Chains A and B, each alone.
Chain A
């Protein structure tokens, strides 16, 4: 008896996406915060903003909050991202 084992994993390889160019310095840069809206984000982002401004000379910090913490960011937030130099997201629990 021959036992044939098939690979059940997805054969499609994601292509076309590359990480954005990393800034060499954050001095004077604009940083976006995308909060998932949970309670824990307030203290975390407040402290992070202070550190970015005081230690790395960040110029501006833009706060945005998702309307649903379990769904991808709203379209109007995604549309703003190109105006920023870097984004912090994915925190909150």
Chain B
């Protein structure tokens, strides 16, 4: 389906296993007016086996593998679960990620731990992570090498999303290409340091809603602080993108913490019964 080759199928199957977990809330994710797509992040040796390219154009038409895996998932939702626009899918706008929204992490150009390892999958095991995700919001900061300044730009974009879209905390993903990765890593920062920093910096006061036309729902809770992340663990830090350019992307959650990102090992039969006899 969708141009998938047999070698892509284990990735598609693992993504389905992850999407079917209760905490992912597949019904809400696929039917909501909010219009998220399902972001798929591929880690481990399988990336190289299937020809996934975590470099140039990582979030778009980077390679056949990620394109067809993301497309197969959407076609599966449509053809198997009948998730069609105007039917079960009540999305108001949606975004282009609903065609395909899959990328591989760049594990070769950074010393950082892969996303799957951070989320509990043993080192060297291939895995997929699925997240109910809005469109990527691109940032640019080419004028510093200081991790704090670079990450302030990411934090500002997360705050903007809190005010303009949804104030509630959930899984955010950030994509950091090589140029900014190198600045941050050279300063000794790990993915955990990034998550701790953004947990502290990406937060807004409810009263700030009034600055963006949402004053009527501030009510008497104006001093209340809303963090973009419920905890640092809810940030997905992904190294990916072409080698040049001080860009990055913030990928916001569909709707707060109603859904949780799920990571599943590829080729592991998570819910299988043990063989009988």
Contact = CB atoms under 8 A, between A and B. Distances in A.
Given A70-B27, A70-B28, A70-B32, A10 B80 contact: yes
Interface residues of A, number: 9
A10 B82 CA distance: 8
A70 B79 contact: no
Majority DSSP secondary structure for residues of A touching B: loop
B75 A8 contact: yes
Contacts of B25: 68, 70-71
Most chain B Cβ neighbours within 10 Å, of A8, A9, A39, A72 = A8
A93 interface: yes
Nearest to B82: A10
Contacts of B217: 39
Contacts of B31: 70
B103 to A, nearest CB: 24
Given A70-B28, A71-B27, A9 B255 contact: no
Interface in A1-57: 8-10, 39
Contact of B80 (A9, A71, A93): A9
Contacts, number: 29
B258 A9 contact: no
Contacts of A39: 217
Nearest to B81: A10
Contacts of B259: 70
Interface in B216-258: 217, 255, 258
A73 to B, nearest CB: 12
A24 to B, nearest CB: 31
A71 B28 contact: yes
Nearest to A7: B79
Nearest to A92: B33
B1 interface: yes
Contacts of B75: 8
Contacts of B258: 68, 70-71
B1 A70 contact: no
Contacts of A10: 79-82
Contact of A70 (B80, B81, B82, B255): B255
A8 B1 contact: yes
B160 to A, nearest CB: 23
Given A70-B258, A71-B258, A8 B79 contact: yes
Contacts of A68: 25, 28, 258
B4 to A, nearest CB: 11
Interface of B: 1, 25, 27-29, 31-33, 75, 79-82, 217, 255, 258-259
6 contacts: A9-B80, A10-B80, A39-B217, A70-B31, A70-B259, A71-B25
Given A10-B82, A70-B29, A71-B27, 6 more contacts: A8-B75, A68-B258, A70-B27, A70-B31, A70-B32, A93-B33
